[in-house]
Structure 1
Amino acid sequence: MIADLAKPIANYVEANSRLDVDGMLHAFSPDAVVQDDGGRHQGHPELRRWIEESIVASKAVFTPDAMRHEDGQVVVEGLTFGAFKGSPLRFTLRFTLEGDAIRALEISL
């Protein structure tokens, strides 16, 4: 893992490595928004469903290897390994932070 990731991002990545639904969800603010694969998910109930159906079901584990700050966001890149076609795939995750939580996350290839 990248040593200087902001705490909420590091918590999310660490929980993701264990496929820990509650740990991943805890990194987000209650009304956070995630945009992934054309879908938009907002608030903890929708984020829980997204985590269970998109991440845990396909055992998708993100391994960050690069980070930069861009337009007020923390942009993290890395490979995602899992039980899905084309694994591993390289993803870019754009985090917007608010306090000690993830306020928004946009995931793209």
Structure 2
Amino acid sequence: MSLQLPDVVETYFAISNGGDLSQLASCFCSDATVFDENKTHEGLAAIEAWQHEVRQAFDFEVEPLQALQEQGQLTVLTHLAGNFPGSPIRLNQVFRLEDDRIRSLEITPC
């Protein structure tokens, strides 16, 4: 399924699927936050460390399925499959954007 997502969100998903981690700096605000697996990662260095750690632990692919824009946030329903316990899983990824960058991202199971 082809979705119309903001460029920065498309880039984020490309990075998540094995793209160049150095591009994270162009996606996130310097003081952005990511909430994933009951942990909050604050700031670009912590977000880069989170992505690096996840990649070291698992092989996976994320596929955006649906997107809903409302109340200043973009919610993307995704299918995540890989070599992690509980795979595959559907996740809601809630983006708040600011100046064409990700201000915050919250990832929760559906």
TM (normalized to structure 1)? 0.89
CA shift in 2, pair 1:57/1:22, >3 Å: farther
Does the Cα contact within 8 Å between 2:3 and 2:65 map onto a contact in 1? no
Residue in 2 aligned with 1:76? Answer: 76
What percentage of aligned pairs have identical amino acids? 31
Does the Cα contact within 8 Å between 1:8 and 1:102 map onto a contact in 2? yes
How many positions carry a matched residue from both structures? 109
RMSD of the TM alignment (CA)? 1.6
Does the Cα contact within 8 Å between 2:3 and 2:66 map onto a contact in 1? no
CA shift in 2, pair 1:2/1:27, >3 Å: farther
Equivalent-residue separation in structure 1 for 2:22 and 2:84 (angstroms): 22
Residue in 2 aligned with 1:53? Answer: 53
1:19 is displaced (CA, Å) by 4.5
Query: Tell me, which stretches of 5 or more residues in structure 2 are unaligned?
Result: none
1:2 is displaced (CA, Å) by 3.5
Residue in 1 aligned with 2:10? Answer: 10
CA shift in 2, pair 1:80/1:19, >3 Å: farther
Residues 1:99 and 2:96 are matched in the alignment: no
Equivalent-residue separation in structure 1 for 2:56 and 2:74 (angstroms): 24
Q: Secondary structure at the match of 2:14?
A: helix
1:61 is displaced (CA, Å) by 2.2
Q: Secondary structure at the match of 1:4?
A: coil
TM (normalized to structure 2)? 0.88
Q: Secondary structure at the match of 1:54?
A: helix
